């Protein structure tokens, strides 16, 4: 079983590339955004709990997110591995993910960071905002703040895994196909 965290700032191409990798290597693509939408849309107990926090403008506790991840993994016991997209975002979440996987005698095999210049990220998100309608992708100051928050709060997760010899940095600039080729080479070596 190969378990990979696809990592990088907002707009680095994680979602796009995770879909390609999942298809190419037969991995389960787990996006926390998709998990939240599924659980809340199906009014599950965890979805109701998450919704209660979101409606108050609060962050959903890690325990709820981990519960959703566990449900997803339990529902797909025969997968070749998992590509985590958008999770973990903190060291505490990384430790919880490691614990969850260890319960199934599994582990994170690698964290792959898509390295993209900030100016490129801003352009990508502004372009995405034109199609998606997402307000947070249409305002450059909000985009730059999201990038800053990523560097302060989320980037340390890479170091957490890199210290275990599991960190890989990939050039996230260029065409989607070029980036996919670089990712395929790295994943094949895990």
Q: What are the residue numbers of the active site?
A: 14, 89, 128, 134, 146
State the DSSP H helix or E strand holding residue 30, giving kind and residue range, or none if neither: strand 28-31
With a CB cutoff of 8 Å and minimum separation 6, the contacts of 180 are 17, 20, 21
Q: What's the CA dihedral at 55, 53, 19, 117 to 10 degrees?
A: 90
State the DSSP H helix or E strand holding residue 149, giving kind and residue range, or none if neither: helix 140-149
In this structure, are residues 102 and 108 in contact, taking their beta carbons and an 8 Å threshold? no
Residue 141 burial (CB < 10 Å; 0-12/13-18/19+)?
exposed
Report the alpha-carbon angle 88-145-142, nearest 5: 110
Q: How far is CA 75 from CA 60, 65, 161, 171, in A?
A: 22, 15, 26, 34
Strand-pair category, 167-171 with 81-85: unpaired
């Amino acid at each position: 079983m190969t378990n990979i965290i696809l990592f990088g700032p907002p707009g680095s191409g994680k979602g796009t590339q995770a879909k390609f990798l999942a298809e190419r290597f037969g991995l389960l693509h787990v996006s926390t955004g998709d998990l939240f939408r599924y659980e809340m849309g199906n009014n599950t107990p965890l979805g109701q709990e998450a919704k209660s926090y979101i409606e108050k403008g609060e962050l959903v506790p890690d325990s709820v997110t981990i519960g959703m991840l566990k449900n997803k993994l339990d529902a797909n016991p025969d997968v070749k591995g998992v590509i985590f997209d958008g999770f973990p975002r903190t060291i505490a979440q990384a430790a919880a993910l490691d614990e969850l996987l260890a319960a199934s005698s599994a582990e994170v095999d690698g964290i792959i960071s898509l390295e993209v210049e900030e100016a490129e990220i801003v352009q990508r998100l502004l372009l995405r905002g034109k199609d998606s309608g997402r307000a947070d992708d249409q305002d450059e100051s909000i985009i730059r703040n999201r990038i800053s928050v990523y560097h302060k709060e989320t980037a340390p997760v890479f170091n957490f895994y890199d210290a275990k010899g599991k960190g890989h940095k990939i050039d996230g600039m260029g065409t989607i196909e070029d980036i996919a080729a670089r990712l395929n080479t790295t994943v094949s070596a895990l």
